[in-house]
């Protein structure tokens, strides 16, 4: 199981580097042909992980409902984010990963409300959710790499 968390750690290290190597203006820019920006994609990964792992397990999330609502599936940036919010997102990349790993090891994920993703993946338990989170974050990392070329 530790490999799932190692993969997610590697993905999140890549995302942190993107945040560290782009200006606030670049993070907020939505290039022509795209519907979102770099910072939205990073925050969306955090929001989705919380919904797929915690909410579907019937547990409280590690981020606010407002954060989830702002970056959940189907949303798009509604304005520029501040440097303060970027810094919060940076911190959440690791704090949510580390706490999820601790919670998994402590076996707090007992129940799970099965869910079929929009891509057709059937998530039946938290293990399925954790596996899918890595796939999902990989997709958004690819989007981020594409957007980087235009900012």
**Percent share of the chain, pLDDT over 70:** 99
Residue that is written with structure tokens 């929001």 in the block = 47
d(CA 102, CA 12) in angstroms, rounded, equals 17
- Domain residue ranges of the chain, discontinuous segments joined by +: 2-148
Per-residue pLDDT at 2: 78
Cβ-based neighbours of 126, under 8 Å, separated by 6 or more:
53, 57, 104, 109, 112
pLDDT by residue (tens digit) across 105-117? 999 999 999 999 9
CA distance 100 to 134: 13
In eight-state DSSP terms, residue 10 is H
Cβ neighbour number for residue 42 with a 10 Å cutoff: 27
What is the average pLDDT score of the chain? 97
pLDDT score for 1: 55
Q: What is the CATH number of domain 2-148?
A: 1.20.120.450
**What pLDDT digit, counting tens, does each position of 85-133 carry?**
999 999 999 999 999 999 999 999 999 999 999 999 999 999 999 999 9
Cβ atoms within 10 Å of 105's Cβ, excluding its own: 11
């Amino acid at each position: 199981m530790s490999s799932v968390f190692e993969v997610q750690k590697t993905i999140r290290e890549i995302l942190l580097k993107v945040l560290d190597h782009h200006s606030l203006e670049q993070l907020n820019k939505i290039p022509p042909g795209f519907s979102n920006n770099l910072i939205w994609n990073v925050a969306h990964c955090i929001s989705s992980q919380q919904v797929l792992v915690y909410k579907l397990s019937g547990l409280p999330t590690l981020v606010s409902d407002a954060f989830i609502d702002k970056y959940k599936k189907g949303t798009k940036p509604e304005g520029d984010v501040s440097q303060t919010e970027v810094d919060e997102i940076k911190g959440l990349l690791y704090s949510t990963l580390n706490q999820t790993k601790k919670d998994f090891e402590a076996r707090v994920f007992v129940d799970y409300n099965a869910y079929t993703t929009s891509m057709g993946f059937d998530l039946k338990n938290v293990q399925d959710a954790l596996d899918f989170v890595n796939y999902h974050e990989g997709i958004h990392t690819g989007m981020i790499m594409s957007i980087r070329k235009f900012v």
